[in-house]
């Protein structure tokens, strides 16, 4: 059987302290002034070890060699550019918001736009966006922006403590098109668009060769009559000049990227399409979610980053790692919520079907959120908890001796390193490193696990999960 392959992956981070403050203000956070005093600079965000792992300048396992807390051990020679992507400063991201806006709802002050757009036009990846190369002269004065904020319910945009623009609402009466909702939509679109442009720049894939895009963020755009109607995927394809592509949005909370990857693999393996992209943009509602707790613990505010990714799935080329579509782990409706049964369905059942033992998988990657973000909240190290469950399942199956549990966890576990963006940490940040390690012949097979909280929509008490097995291509002869 010929399986689809992973031909490339890109990852982007966006340092957005101004958007974090905007989110805190919208939620009525009374300590916004305290947040402003404790926000990290762009340089501090770049030097933070987990962020360097996210863009590929470190392998995630390298974090185990850096003392905790990581925010006390900045990497002095860190760069904003990495093997898999990039960390963008906030001014460039605000410029991207305007560049991907096709309805004139993002208004930037004249001086700010004149300062930031030359940076974007000089960027090796995002300079190709239509909204940058052919940007309209539609900037506003400070007075016009202030009037829009004061009289038209526009949402302020700030940079370095100053108001440099605003986002207009798109309807007088539709709350689904209020300025805050437009901001959420455009933030997801802009971040995913940048990630896709990075993928093109890193891999050489031409935009016109893309057949289909699945978008798998946590936002759901629409109007009052179709609140989650969709449109991210096609709008991203349009922004990136993927003129031959179609696309649609996939939603399953944190598990959405895994569902989208499964759909992409099925499209390719069936022969429907040759080149399918899975993208996920950032979620501004998660900015500063635990900021108050971080401040109480004397920590920097770590939730100042938006995350995004893009993954290219294509037909077997005899080189790139394969996706084993015949060994999908899934949490069926009848699975229940017993952790033991969930992990049996996700891990033991597909591996047994393929003739593998739990101990034969080189890496497991599940819920890779940075533990320094969640440990102060009392949630502990989510990734570590998953690995303990996997090792315990191996003991129950008599594949791992109880005395070997910690040794096995150290062998196959991947430390959490992703920002707390819900869908972003859910397995997919490790696809890029896994592909590279497999191509280097350092590992042979990696299981990616994504879990989602379906109960958040108040339609069910269920949650959801999928697992995918990535393997070395059997046709590949070696490095």
β-strands 363-366, 212-215 pairing: unpaired
Query: Residue 300 to residues 83, 86, 318, 336: CA-CA distances in angstroms?
Result: 27, 21, 46, 38
Which whole-number Å values give the CA distances from 458 to 206, 254, 338, 463, in the listed order?
42, 16, 20, 11
Give the per-residue pLDDT at 28: 67
| Domain extent listing, the chain | 328-471
Note the pLDDT of residue 131: 87
The H helix count followed by the E strand count for the chain is 18, 14
Q: What is the pLDDT of residues 364-407, one digit of tens each?
A: 999 999 999 999 999 999 999 999 999 999 999 999 999 999 99
pLDDT tens across 397-436, in order? Answer: 999 999 999 999 999 999 999 999 889 999 999 999 999 9
pLDDT for 135? 59
What does the alpha-carbon distance between residue 420 and residue 412 come to, in Å, rounded to a whole number? 22
Render 163-200 in DSSP notation, one character per residue: EEEEE--S-SS-GGGSHHHHHHHHHHHHHHHHHHHHHH
Structure tokens at 417: 């390193």
In angstroms, the CA 154 to CA 136 distance is 20
Which stretch of DSSP H or E encloses residue 248?
strand 246-249
What's the pTM value of the predicted model, to 2 decimals? Answer: 0.96
pLDDT at 477: 75
What is the CATH code of the structural domain delimited by 328-471?
Answer: 3.40.47
> In 3D, which of 4, 27, 74, 13 has the Cα closest to residue 425?
13
Q: Residue 134's pLDDT band (boundaries 50, 70, 90)?
A: low
CA pair distance 277, 297, nearest whole angstrom: 40
């Amino acid at each position: 059987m010929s399986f689809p392959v992973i031909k490339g992956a890109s990852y982007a981070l966006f340092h957005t302290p101004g958007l974090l403050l905007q989110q805190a203000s919208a939620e009525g956070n009374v300590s916004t002034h305290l947040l402003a005093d404790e926000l990290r600079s762009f340089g501090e965000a770049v030097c933070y070890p987990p962020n360097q792992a996210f863009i590929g300048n470190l392998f995630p396992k390298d974090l185990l060699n850096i003392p905790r807390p990581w925010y006390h051990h900045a990497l002095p020679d860190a760069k904003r550019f990495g093997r898999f992507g990039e960390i963008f400063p906030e001014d460039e991201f605000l410029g991207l918001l305007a560049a991907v806006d096709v309805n004139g709802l993002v208004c930037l002050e004249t001086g700010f736009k004149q300062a930031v757009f030359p940076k974007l036009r000089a960027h090796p990846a995002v300079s190709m966006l239509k909204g940058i190369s052919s940007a309209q002269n539609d900037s506003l004065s400070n007075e016009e922006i202030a009037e829009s904020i004061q009289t038209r319910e526009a949402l302020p945009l700030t940079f370095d403590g100053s108001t440099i623009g605003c986002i207009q609402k798109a309807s007088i009466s539709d709350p689904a098109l209020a300025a805050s909702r437009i901001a959420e939509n455009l933030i997801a679109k802009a971040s995913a668009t940048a990630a896709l442009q990075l993928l093109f720049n890193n891999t050489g894939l031409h935009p016109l060769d893309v057949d289909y895009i699945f978008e798998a963020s946590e936002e759901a755009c629409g109007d009052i009559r179709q609140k989650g109607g969709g449109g991210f995927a096609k709008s991203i394809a349009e922004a990136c000049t993927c003129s031959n592509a179609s696309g649609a949005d996939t939603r399953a909370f944190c598990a959405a990227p895994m569902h989208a990857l499964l759909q992409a693999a099925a499209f390719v393996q069936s022969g429907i399409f040759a080149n399918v992209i899975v993208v996920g943009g950032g979620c501004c509602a998660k900015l500063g979610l635990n900021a108050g707790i971080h401040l109480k613990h004397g920590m920097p505010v770590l939730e100042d980053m938006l995350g995004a990714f893009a993954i290219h799935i294509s037909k077997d080329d005899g080189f790139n790692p394969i996706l084993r579509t015949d060994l999908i782990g899934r949490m069926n409706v009848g699975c229940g919520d017993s952790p033991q049964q969930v992990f049996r369905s996700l891990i033991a059942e597909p591996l047994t079907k393929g003739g593998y033992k739990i101990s034969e998988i080189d890496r497991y990657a599940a819920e890779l959120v940075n533990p320094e973000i969640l440990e102060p909240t009392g949630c502990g190290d989510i990734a570590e908890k998953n690995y303990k469950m996997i090792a315990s399942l191996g003991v129950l199956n008599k594949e791992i001796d109880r005395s070997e549990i910690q040794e096995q966890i150290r062998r196959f576990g991947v430390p959490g390193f992703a920002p707390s963006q819900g869908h972003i940490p859910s397995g997919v940040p490790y696809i890029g490193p896994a592909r590279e390690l497999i191509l280097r012949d350092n590992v042979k097979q990696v299981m990616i696990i994504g879990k989602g909280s379906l109960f958040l929509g108040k339609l069910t008490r269920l949650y959801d999960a999928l697992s995918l097995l990535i393997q070395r291509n059997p046709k590949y002869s070696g490095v």
